[in-house]
Amino acid sequence: MVSTGSQTVLVAGGGIGGIATANRLRRRLDRRHRVVLINRDPDFTFAASYLWVMTGARRPAQITRPLRRLERRGIEVVIGDVTDIDPATRTVTVGDQRLTGDHLVVSLGADWATDRIPGLAEHGQTFATLGGAERLAGELRRVETGRIVVVTAAPLYKCPAAPYEAALLIEAGLRARGVRSSVEVAVRSAEPAPMPVAGADVSAAVTMLLAQRNIDYQPGRQITAVEPGSLQFGDTNERADLVVYMPPIVAPPAIANSALAADDGWIHADRSTLATAFPGVYAIGDNTHIVLGIGKPLPRAGVFAHGQAHVVADTISASISGAPTPTGFDGHGGCFIETGDGRAAYGAGNFYGDPAPTVALHDPGRRWHWGKVAFEQQVMRRWL
């Protein structure tokens, strides 16, 4: 159906998915139509660069931009907490405002569930938040001896590559400071292998990268508690002078408490169209739970939020202009894994592959590191 009047698109969430959606809609829709982006924090920060904050290669200001900059392009920005979503009427409650759209895109990400593991927040350090990465950078600069253990605190977390990347970068940093021989580096993962959704070859290649750098890796180890100087895994414990963690995640309450949520709290959107059960309501990025043919969920990664954002923005603009509906999201994506020394590996492929994802990991090289830098620069300079 072609619309002749003004339409409003609400985009809930101003992270990777929300910004990519709003920008693309703004480019495609004429100014009669409103694009309204809602986000809790006034600033966007680029999570993929937090690991460079951890290593000291970036200052927080370099990867932070005010969301209000989107207003220069004609995107309306509302800063506030979404407390309720009524998908039947496409209404979002933000403080004392109730905003209703003709179309609604939900991209509220995933919340941290750090408190699921007793002692984790108190005695551990994380690279998963900007403030955490800054504090961890200070801790790492002081390490001269001892044992650093990087843990994934649950099998489900954001960016499956990030904890392995963190361990490799920490190892390289210790080497650069000449203290590597007196510091042990270990990884304990709750999942059965590194990046298991990407397949056995990728898992084996990442395991090899860790082994080559003498990083002691043990999969299938779910931590149950953290105490000063030690990590608990059920009945056993291990010494850890510095615990570095990737937190578990949970669906944001505004979603889990809404009619959009499945029993697990996440939105089970259509894997191709990202449509929900409610007309005109789409969900993209980390707040969706898309189960692949292998029975495991599509990883929570910005590359997928970005690809899905384009599909949804194109679908909405086509529905307004009467253009043909675009092809759906095809499950392709890739991610860089920084390995230190100015190099990165690159894993990419089709996560919707049938019967299983077909993903390959390219060996570490300078070009992949510069590829990650180039993408960061594109986001920081062109997106906002």
DSSP-derived pairing of the beta strands 111-112 and 43-45: unpaired
C-beta separation of 89 from 104 below 8 A = no
Length of the chain: 384
Binding flag, residue 343, ligand FAD (CB under 6 A): no
Beta carbons within 10 angstroms of residue 260's beta carbon: 26
Scanning residues 118 to 147, which ones bind ligand FAD (CB under 6 A)? 127-128
C-beta separation of 166 from 51 below 8 A = yes
C-beta separation of 110 from 280 below 8 A = no
Binding flag, residue 251, ligand FAD (CB under 6 A): no
Closest to ligand FAD by CB, 84 or 122 = 84
| Among 137, 159, 167, 197, contact with ligand FAD (rule: CB under 6 A) | 159
Chain center to CA of 346:
17
| Crossing angle for the helix pair 200-212 and 162-176, to the nearest 10 degrees | 20
**Residue found under tokens 């194109």:** 314
Closest distance between ligand FAD and the C-beta of residue 157, in Å?
Answer: 8
Kindly indicate which of the ranges 3-11, 107-115, 236-244, 323-331 contains the residues binding ligand FAD, using the contact rule CB under 6 A.
107-115
C-beta separation of 87 from 260 below 8 A = yes
Beta carbons within 10 angstroms of residue 371's beta carbon: 15
DSSP 241: S
Scanning residues 267 to 286, which ones bind ligand FAD (CB under 6 A)? 285-286
The 4-43 site mask, x for binding ligand FAD (CB under 6 A), equals ---------xxxxxx-------------------xxxx--
Binding flag, residue 331, ligand FAD (CB under 6 A): no
Closest distance between ligand FAD and the C-beta of residue 179, in Å?
Answer: 24
**Taking the C-alpha atoms of 225, 231, 233 and 234 in order, what is their torsion angle to the nearest 10 degrees?**
-50
Closest distance between ligand FAD and the C-beta of residue 127, in Å?
Answer: 5
Scanning residues 182 to 241, which ones bind ligand FAD (CB under 6 A)? none
The 281-310 site mask, x for binding ligand FAD (CB under 6 A), equals ----xxx------------xxxx-x-----
Output the six-digit token pair for 191. 């999942």
Question: Cβ-count burial of 8 within 10 angstroms (0-12 exposed, 13-18 middle, 19+ buried)?
Answer: middle
Closest to ligand FAD by CB, 14 or 364 = 14
Closest to ligand FAD by CB, 168 or 254 = 254
Binding flag, residue 345, ligand FAD (CB under 6 A): no
Scanning residues 55 to 94, which ones bind ligand FAD (CB under 6 A)? 81-82
Closest to ligand FAD by CB, 162 or 183 = 162
Residues in the interface with ligand FAD (CB under 6 A) total 36
| Among 22, 58, 65, 109, contact with ligand FAD (rule: CB under 6 A) | 109
**Residue found under tokens 């551990």:** 124
Q: How far apart are CA 162 and CA 172, in angstroms?
A: 15
Binding flag, residue 164, ligand FAD (CB under 6 A): no
Q: How far apart are CA 164 and CA 339, in angstroms?
A: 9
Closest to ligand FAD by CB, 31 or 382 = 382
By CB under 6 A, name the binding residues for ligand FAD. Answer: 13-18, 38-41, 47-48, 50-51, 81-82, 107-109, 127-128, 158-159, 162, 252, 254, 285-287, 300-303, 305, 335-336
